[in-house]
Chains A and B, each alone.
Chain A
Amino acid sequence: MNAILDWAIHFATLCFALSMVFGTVRLIIGPAAPDRVLALDAVYINGMLGALVLGIRFGTTVYFDIALLIGLFGFVGATAMAKFLLRGEVIEP
């Protein structure tokens, strides 16, 4: 059982890392700005999930806080950028 969990955890971590890499590829090549913003959001989601898996792996709840914070605010950057692309200005009057 433990061996399976171990394997699964490692596999999951690797998968999240790989998906972050793919997200990064999009992040770099673009081509358009919205593509990049979306890619960043995807990378953040993967990062959050990776943090959760790390929490299981190291057996501590601290990582859930990190995941919580990414969950709460990971989208702020993307939102701000989206607003910037949409209106040319983050905070309008």
Chain B
Amino acid sequence: MSLLAIILLPFLGSLCAAFMPANARNVEAWLAGTAALATTVLVASLYGDIQAEGVLRASVPWAPSLGLEFSLRMDGFAWVFALLVAAMGTLVVLYARYYMSPEDPVPRFFSFFLAFMGAMLGVVLSGNLIQLAMFWELTSLASFMLIAYWNHRVDARRGARMALTVTATGGLALLAGMLILGHIAGSYDLDVVLQAGDTIRAHAWYPAALALVVLGALTKSAQFPFHFWLPHAMAAPTPVSAYLHSATMVKAGVFLLARLWPVLAGTEAWFWIVGSAGLLSLVVGAYLALFQRDMKGVLAYSTISHLGLITLLLGMNSPLALVAAVFHIINHATFKASLFMAAGIVDHETGTRDMTRLSGLYRAMPITATLALVAAASMAGVPLLNGFLSKEMFFAETVFIDRPDFQRLGLPMAATLAGMFSVAYSLRFIHCVFFGRPARDLPRAPHEPPGWMLAPSALLVFACLLVGMFPAHTIGPFLAVATQSILGASTPEYSLAIWHGFNLPLMMSLAALAGGIVLYQLLLRRRADTVPLLERLDGKRAFDFVQTALSTGSERLLRILVSRRLQVQLLLIVVFALAAVLLPLTADRAGWTLASPGLPDPAFALLWLVGGACALGTAYKAKRHRLAALVLSGGTGLATCLTFAWFSAPDLALTQLTVEVVTVVLLLLGLRWLPRRNDASAPDIPTSTRLRRWRDRSIALLAGGGLGSLAYIVLTRPAGEGISPFFLEQALPLGGGLNVVNVILVDFRGFDTLGEITVLGIVALTVYALLRRFRPAPESMELTQQQQEHSAPPPDTDAVLPPGPMAVPAVLVRLLMPLALLVSLYFLLRGHNAPGGGFVGGLVLATTVILQYIVGGTVWVESRSRLHPPHWIALGLLAAAAAGCGAWLASLPFLTSLAWHGSLPLVGELHISTVLLFDIGVYMLVVGATVLMLVALAHQSLRAHHRKPARAGEE
């Protein structure tokens, strides 16, 4: 369980840190420090178990039905890495406490910092490939947030975006690679995959998996040609650079390569891909580091170079090289983090990191200078420091590599060259900043920082020295545990001694030292401020170019493929739908026969004549005469309703009728706000327009006719064995109702209905919210023509009847009100056994309410009584849900209906069911939703008239 705690602790700390006040600098630092320190102690305490058992595992069920579990696995290598992450985190928190200024919003910093720490530990400890990829992406996200921490700065935002784009793209590739690996191995479990090395290397998909995984690793570790994001990520606060971009996150790439080394390494493809990327990064990174002006720039390129060294070692396919790689991962973290801290201190105390301005700081800050000097010497590979040891091992590997001739010669030479560059830039870093005559025009007068700010750096430098002088006694056991967990039985013999005698690697080291000093002397004479030879090699420019090309390309593609015009879109949709239906029909002509339905009842035929004529008229009039089209559509609606009635579907007829009424009112309300059509049509239409219209007309005819005949064919075929007999037979015994339609709605498919009314409520609230902010077109804002001719008197809330033409209808409609209420309740209550139900009843009530608005006016009605439609919606949903939950009381599944049948004195026989409560919920929701939407439209004119409603609480 302590494995789980290792991951959870930082995330918990991150959560707590996020909710602290912005100025709680000390509390934040204490919290983050405690979380990091506790994690470190936890990790360290597991050392004994690791030594004894080799591998520790812990798993928590995640989605057991999918066979997925959150699994953690810690072996020696993971232990070393986890300790590195946690301990370095603790030191950097201490450093950050003094680095961050009081004005910075520290909760954000420490929150993301701890989140990153948790994610990184997740990467290290994941026992599952997919889970590893997930934590991998989390580190990219946290890195993005931390680079962009000073989000008012352009370079920070740009650097963060670039880092995220590159590393997240790599992360996607990694996920794909992991999927392939898991597919080949038959499991995503890391243990299984590590055992399946031979199967994977022999598999046909091995090259694809290798390329994808390596792509992920190289982008994360900023390896050539993806190295360019790292220097731009230096816009992050220095603690972030020290932690993420030198010690941990960029190491995730090489960590993964080492983790999967037993699975993927050992082939020519591995050697060439990983090795060449490493070699190029090693040499190019070191070369570019020579010419940086920014202190952090030097360190960034040097990091690329050192990570290249590690990658190259991993790519050599030799167990000894792997040992050297793991060793160098640890060493590099110590000296590079301490150098970053030194750069941060210089920046903090002088106000600049520009190496052309800095000079002679040794006098002002001797301790910082000494620490930086030792760390830089370790970076350069000076003997008696830890950097020397792993570099020596690296040189030895290049010399003794078992490859064809030109590689045997080339590799050591390239390695010595890179060593020379490394010595030169380390020398420049120290000499330029700390020595020479004192700088004059610095933004701030330099002095030594507070002691606690130096402490982390001092500790790291002390570690460099200790490991450098007594390697076998300090790092030896840990290194052994780590390498043994990767290589198992094939762990080679190696010696951690400082002195191996006068051999070729030592000669190379000396040559690099001497060459580096000479190179630096040459460099001092140079005046130009450019990078010779590789000036044009700019990854950022390539990145920008690719990004611009992608966005312009997609825009171009959109312009070709997508139209903003509705006509074109409709045309495409209709033509494709037509083709999609026609294709299967041409293949099978058996179903094409149009059976004659026989002669219909003449009255029915006439009814359909009416409906058809009205429908065509609606379509014809819709463009120029909206009101006429609306009237005609009313005729179609009536014909539809009567057709339902004729074919004994009374429920449908009732619903259709009420919906029809509400729709007419809704459209009329909307019509008021539509701008007037410009009827001045051009007398001579160009031929192209005519042609286009004919084309559209024929397509419309084809599609409409096709759909009609399709429906006809389906309807005239003998019906198959459907599900309707089941419902007809089971409605009474199972649902306790005679009205099958209603039983289906509220009982058999009650869950559907619950979902539907929820959507209806959401839609109503959305319409309301949209209309609150809706402003009509300016030309329809003024009073209507009729209102201008006969201006209405201002609404009088005390009047019994509205004055003017609405007096008589008002009397009638008020008489209608109680009657309609009765009808609506009647429909609601009897719905379970006879046509009706909550939906129809609700629409009836809503219609009467709207009628009151029509004859009385908004102000008058709302001064009398005010429905609160949102309350109705809420209560309706609650009632329906309560009816569903009621079944739980009888320990039955959600929405099972409970019924009670018996007789009461006076009342007589009674049947009470939770279904009724459900139907009441539907009823209330329909009333609320309908009234809310229509009244929201009506309130538009209230606003347009600029009169305050008498007692309405609107706005």
Contact = CB atoms under 8 A, between A and B. Distances in A.
Interface of A: 10, 13-14, 16-18, 20-21, 23-24, 27-28, 30, 33, 36-37, 39-40, 43-44, 47, 50-51, 54, 58, 62-63, 65-66, 68-70, 72-73, 76-77, 79-81, 83-93
13 contacts: A27-B614, A37-B631, A47-B638, A51-B645, A65-B654, A69-B844, A80-B664, A85-B627, A87-B787, A88-B785, A89-B784, A91-B853, A93-B859
B631 A18 contact: no
Contacts, number: 175
Contact of B610 (A20, A51, A63, A91): A20
A76 B661 contact: yes
B661 A91 contact: no
Contact of A93 (B816, B850, B857): B857
A54 B645 contact: yes
Given A58-B648, A80-B664, A81-B630, 5 more contacts: A30-B628, A44-B634, A51-B645, A62-B835, A69-B823
Interface in B625-655: 627-628, 630-632, 634-635, 638, 641-642, 645-646, 648, 650, 653-654
- 4 tightest CB-CB pairs across the interface, nearest first? A88-B784, A17-B606, A91-B938, A17-B603
Q: Which of A28, A39, A40, A93 has the most chain B CB atoms inside 10 A of its CB?
A: A93
A89 B851 contact: no
A24 B613 contact: yes
B914 interface: no
A79 B853 CA distance: 12
A86 B805 contact: yes
A66 B947 contact: no
Interface in B765-815: 783-787, 792, 795, 805-806, 809
Nearest to A13: B603
A39 B631 CA distance: 9
Contacts of A83: 806, 854-855
B338 interface: no
B639 to A, nearest CB: 8
Interface in B841-872: 844, 847, 850-851, 853-855, 857-859
A73 B665 CA distance: 12
A47 B660 CA distance: 14
A21 B634 contact: no
B585 interface: no
A62 B792 contact: no
Given A28-B632, A92-B858, A80 B785 contact: no
A76 B614 CA distance: 19
B674 interface: no
Contacts of B641: 47, 66
A65 B645 CA distance: 11
Given A66-B653, A90-B668, A72 B784 contact: no
Interface in B809-850: 809, 816, 819-820, 823, 827, 834-836, 844, 847, 850
B857 A91 contact: yes
Contact of A40 (B631, B645, B650, B847): B631
B108 interface: no
B941 interface: yes
Contacts of B671: 84
Contacts of B631: 27, 33, 36-37, 39-40, 81
B602 A14 contact: yes
A40 B660 CA distance: 13
Nearest to B662: A76
Contacts of B661: 73, 76-77
A69 B835 CA distance: 12
Contacts of A90: 665, 668-669, 672, 854, 938
A90 B855 CA distance: 9
B607 interface: yes
Interface string B578-609: 00000000000000000000000111101101
A91 B941 CA distance: 8
B664 A77 contact: yes
Interface string B418-461: 00000000000000000000000000000000000000000000
B266 interface: no
Contacts of A58: 648
A24 B787 CA distance: 31
B657 interface: yes
B638 A14 contact: no
Nearest to B794: A93
A70 to B, nearest CB: 6
Nearest to A58: B648
